Structure 1
Amino acid sequence: MAGSTAAGMSAREAILRAALKVVGEQGVAGLTNRRIVAEAGVSLGSLTYHFPSQTELLRQAMLLFAAEEAKKLTELAETHRTDGISVEEAAVAVEQVLTRMTFTTDDIAPLELYLQAGRDPELRDATQRCFAAYDELATTVLTALGVPDPQRLAGPVVALIAGLQLRRLATGEAPPAATALTMLIHGSNA
């Protein structure tokens, strides 16, 4: 994309996508104006016009990611929704989806931004929105499965899946998600 913005993409969106790519490749510490404008194919003036501070750029990039992630996950949930599916079958389906996922710089960028939100409280509203979307999706799926009190369980389910994915990213090994999800939903007696 370097050299010119992608067709049909505004300069603002190109900058946000470039920021996510750079963060995924270099981390937040590697996010420089020079790298962003080179990747986005925009001028430095365009970058500073749209985003007067790096915090605002990171916040808006996280919000873009959150909106797109929520849409993608909702579509994924719909494709795997089946009437009468058991919790165990749903857990196996989740494990299969997680195992097939590859980690690209696009997948690493949000993790970097979550960590940055721990350092910069101004980013927390964006990360809270992202996790709220995950929680809402988990609540929807748990409700469809007939799990009692799905809102109470949604946060722990999201945390378990995120933790398993982080472990997979760090170790290269995919721990079994189905057993862990089933135990969490049914209790340790499952």
Structure 2
Amino acid sequence: MSTREAILRAALRVIGEQGVAGLTNRRIVAEAGVSLGSLTYHFPSQPELLRQAMLLFAEDEAVRLGGLAEAHRAEGMTVEAAAAAVDTVLANLPLGIAEIASLELFLQAGRDPGLRDATARCFAAYDELALTILRALDIPDPERLAGPAVALVTGLQLRRLATGAPPATPAADALTILVRGAEPHRPRE
């Protein structure tokens, strides 16, 4: 791992533990095991450090979600099977410093428009995974449903992270309700 990447990963850990407000040069260099000069050489400003950390997180997410998307391109998948697969993935995701760091950076992007391109890349990866699954399910107008599906999953994960408990309605059930509600109503025979 390069010094630059070590600094970025250290910044993400510090953000996850202390929040953006707790991100200091001393904490970053202690966490990364680098000199202050290395930090300021690679990142002369905190906004640039935050932007690059978000881009690294987005790149990691795109790779991780790309693998999930490939695994779910199977033909003949049912809505229920897809929802159960998403539920399993969510249940197995660790909820810790990395997830808190990403949420902190998403919130910071609300304050700092310079971070929005990086957060847009991350959400584009989420949308692409949703689109891949919705297309595999042959759901009509998947582009219209991808954003709400991502919002639903993100909200459920935020709730799980904030409360420490799974939501009362499992993600599989919530996604099935969302997708089934989006399907055109067919007359009963």
Is 1:113 matched up with 2:105? yes
Is 1:181 matched up with 2:175? yes
Q: Which of 45, 51, 54 is 2:46 aligned to?
A: 54
Write out aligned runs for 1:27-176 (5 A). Answer: 27-175=19-167, 176=170
Q: What is the Cα-based RMSD across aligned positions, in Å? A: 1.6
Aligned length: 182
Does the 8 Å CA contact 2:80/2:176 hold for their aligned counterparts?
A: yes
Secondary structure of 2:165's aligned partner: coil
1:129-184 Cα deviation digits (max 9, x unpaired): 11111111211111111111111111111000000000011112212111110111
* Deviation of the 1:80 alpha carbon: 4.4
Does the 8 Å CA contact 2:50/2:115 hold for their aligned counterparts?
A: yes
2-structure distance, mates of 1:183, 1:40 = 45
Identity, % of aligned positions: 73
Pick which of 24-33 and 92-101 moved more: 92-101
2-structure distance, mates of 1:106, 1:170 = 14
Secondary structure of 1:187's aligned partner: helix
Does the 8 Å CA contact 2:72/2:136 hold for their aligned counterparts?
A: no
Bigger relative contact order (CA 8 A; separation at least 6): 2
Secondary structure of 1:173's aligned partner: coil
Structure 1 counterpart of 2:28, one-letter code? I
Q: Which runs of 5+ in 2 are unaligned?
A: none
Q: TM-score, normalised by structure 2?
A: 0.91
Structure 1 counterpart of 2:110, one-letter code? G
* Deviation of the 1:65 alpha carbon: 0.5
2-structure distance, mates of 1:174, 1:63 = 29
1:3-62 Cα deviation digits (max 9, x unpaired): xxxxxx111111100000100111111100001011111111111111111111000000
Structure 1 counterpart of 2:48, one-letter code? E
Tell me the equivalent position of 1:17.
9
Structure 1 counterpart of 2:136, one-letter code? A
2-structure distance, mates of 1:46, 1:102 = 31
* Deviation of the 1:188 alpha carbon: 7.5
Q: TM-score, normalised by structure 1?
A: 0.90
Q: Which runs of 5+ in 1 are unaligned?
A: 1-8
* Deviation of the 1:77 alpha carbon: 3.1
* Deviation of the 1:83 alpha carbon: 2.7
